[in-house]
Amino acid sequence: MVTSEVILGELESVLQRPKILRTFGGPTPSELREYLFVLRANAEIITTVGTLDPIPKITPDDLMVLATTVTGKANALVTGDAILLELKTVREIPIITPRAFIESLPSV
């Protein structure tokens, strides 16, 4: 798993949004700290993220996700974001849904 501090910061912010808290019950502050701790402990944190040329319809935040994927030489970008999924690949790295990712895992 590859991520960056910028992406983790965005994730932390999103998980604290009132709509998320109302819709999903949201994480408690201690659950959020634990979740981010586990992510940091198990992910490769990319500290210097390269840049990509602008892509039509792609926001700066999503461009950062794509750049982190490329810089970290990820095997795939797993996302539910419809606009990113439309790209299908970024520099030959597949962009797939969480379901497709789970289905690609070997059975245990």
DSSP state of 95: E
Give the pLDDT of residue 89.
97
In this prediction the pTM is: 0.82
* Grouped pLDDT means (10 residues each) for the chain, 108 residues: 92 88 84 93 93 93 95 95 97 96 89
Domain residue spans in the chain?
Answer: 1-47, 51-108
Query: d(Cα 70, Cα 55) in Å, to the nearest integer?
Result: 14
- Check: CB of residue 6 under 8 Å from CB of residue 45: no
Alpha helices in the chain (DSSP H): 5-15, 18-24, 29-42, 60-71, 82-87, 98-104
Give the pLDDT of residue 20.
83
Residues 6+ apart with CB under 8 A from 96: 76, 77, 78, 79, 85, 104
